[in-house]
Structure 1
Amino acid sequence: MNAPRRILVVEDDAKIADMLCNYLGAQGWTTTVIGNGLDVAAEVRRGEPSAVLLDLMLPGRDGIEVCRELRAFSAVPIVMVTARVDEIDRLLGLDTGADDYICKPFSPREVVARLKALLRRAEGRLGAATPAHGFHVDESAARIAWQDQWLALTPVEYRLLRQLVQRPGQVFSRNRLLECVHEELRDTTDRAIDSHIKNLRRKIAKVRAQGSAIVSVYGVGYRFDPEIVGDGGGGDSTLSPH
């Protein structure tokens, strides 16, 4: 019998933490609550939870700093919770390594739904027989295949696609993707990423009937979602700032 999922709730508002724990408990999940940003890393090291609900505004250390600290040693799924809805905070949270974000005030049912989707993606990454749903990354040869077909990628396209397929479902801003290929694109703007993504979509779609699986995220950047049918280029996804 599998152990129940454990969600680490990092929230300094006791009423909000209690409400979240009640809803998460109704799913059969266990919860651990931490009310500050100083003790989170130690708790994750003691026993990695299934996911972390991480408030942005915390005493001791804010959610951005905590997220950076966790990403230095753990790939645990992280949902950033914030009442600050301006775009800079959202982008910074995702660039730091958060897998998703949700804004206060929120519906507890939405939190549960987001966590379920995130856990499905994370468990799929860990349990997939074929890496990234048919994509295989050969690090030593710096090449990527869709099933048994090697893609004809430039060095920049290889780095971009590797970053995306190794974290399916995670949203990457253009700035973060630019950092992944900074050696080649250090003198260009983050919008150069768009043209390389366009080329990647075209090359993948030639060999993959379902499309490229590279999805635009409104106002942020891109994510790799192998469950999407199509090339992801016809419109932005629902992770909108509105």
Structure 2
Amino acid sequence: MSRILIVDDDRALCSLLADYLQREGFEVDVAHDGTTALTHLHSGAQRPDLLILDVMMPGRDGLETLRELRLQYRLPVIMLSARGEPVDRIVGLELGADDYLSKPCLPRELLARVRAQLRRNTPVMAGVLQVGVLRLLPGERRAFADDNEISLTGAEYMLLQALAQRAGELVEKAVLTRFALGRELERFDRSVDVHVSRLRHKLAEASPKAPHIDSVRGAGYVLVVSTP
């Protein structure tokens, strides 16, 4: 049974979402501010499998909380915000959120996003996927470049795996969105673009010989093996 931590200062919304998710078979904890959420994570007791994190909270807001937890934790994070402007989505994704929903959202849609993220973060048995100096361990959802481990969120790992499985080929944004985020590509959706931007930086940081990601305008992305 997966455990979810909901972090939102709206107590009524927390109660509603917790009841709904519990009826769907999840164990749910709630926190009403970022500091309490981080304390819960650091305690190590009943650590959640996924975090639902509100952006607008008094004190330590959701973005600051996300920035700090990403220094240590890789669990999937879905951000909620009443501010649905594209720039707010981009900031959250750049800080390491796996997905983003605007408030108000339907509990059923949130449930679908939760299940998609959990599926994509469940280890499966598989062999090693090697692309140049890049090595992926799908069974552990870990990635290495020149033996340097690359710290990736769940969405980033799934994007990299999708590109690595078809290295040298164009992978359309719609395919990447479906594979990595578990949903269909939406109009004006830049989630994949932001995740790819983070991946490019992490690959280059891990090794100058790591494959790089080329964009094909209006279509998608290609993982290109670096040549000596």
Determine if the TM-score, normalized by the shorter chain, exceeds 0.5: yes
- Residue 23 of structure 1 and its aligned partner are, at CA, apart by 0.4
Match of residue 21 from structure 1: 18
- Residue 176 of structure 1 and its aligned partner are, at CA, apart by 2.2
Deviations 1:40-72 (A, max 9, x none): 122112232011000011122111111111111
Matches of residues 171-190 of structure 1 in structure 2 within 5 Å? 171=192, 173=194, 174-180=196-202
1:194 to 193, 201, 215: 215
Amino acid at match of 2:198: R
Q: Percent identity, aligned pairs only? A: 33
After superposition, the Cα gap between the structure-2 partners of 1:137 and 1:97, relative to the gap in structure 1 and judged at 3 Å, is farther
Deviations 1:171-212 (A, max 9, x none): 4515424423557xxxxxxxx8415964438x9xxxxxxxxx
Which whole-Å CA distance do the structure 1 matches of 2:197 and 2:125 have between them? 32
Match of residue 142 from structure 1: 133
Matched, 1:120 2:116: no
Structure ID, larger Rg:
1
The DSSP-based 3-state class of the residue aligned with 2:48 is: coil
Q: Name which structure has the greater RCO, CA cutoff 8 Å, separation 6+.
A: 2
Unaligned runs of 5+ in 2: 139-145, 151-155, 164-178, 182-191, 206-212
Match of residue 189 from structure 1: none
Q: Residue 67 of structure 1 contacts residue 96 of structure 1 at CA under 8 Å; is this kept in 2?
A: yes
Match of residue 43 from structure 1: 40
Q: What number of residue pairs does the alignment pair up?
A: 173
Unaligned runs of 5+ in 1: 148-154, 184-191, 204-242
Match of residue 129 from structure 1: 125
After superposition, the Cα gap between the structure-2 partners of 1:137 and 1:57, relative to the gap in structure 1 and judged at 3 Å, is farther
Match of residue 169 from structure 1: 180
Match of residue 102 from structure 2: 103
Runs of 4+ in 1 over 3 A off after TM superposition: 195-199
- Residue 129 of structure 1 and its aligned partner are, at CA, apart by 1.4
After superposition, the Cα gap between the structure-2 partners of 1:166 and 1:64, relative to the gap in structure 1 and judged at 3 Å, is farther
TM-score in terms of structure 1 length: 0.61
Matched, 1:8 2:5: yes
Q: Residue 6 of structure 1 contacts residue 31 of structure 1 at CA under 8 Å; is this kept in 2?
A: yes
After superposition, the Cα gap between the structure-2 partners of 1:75 and 1:38, relative to the gap in structure 1 and judged at 3 Å, is same
After superposition, the Cα gap between the structure-2 partners of 1:198 and 1:80, relative to the gap in structure 1 and judged at 3 Å, is closer
Amino acid at match of 2:105: F
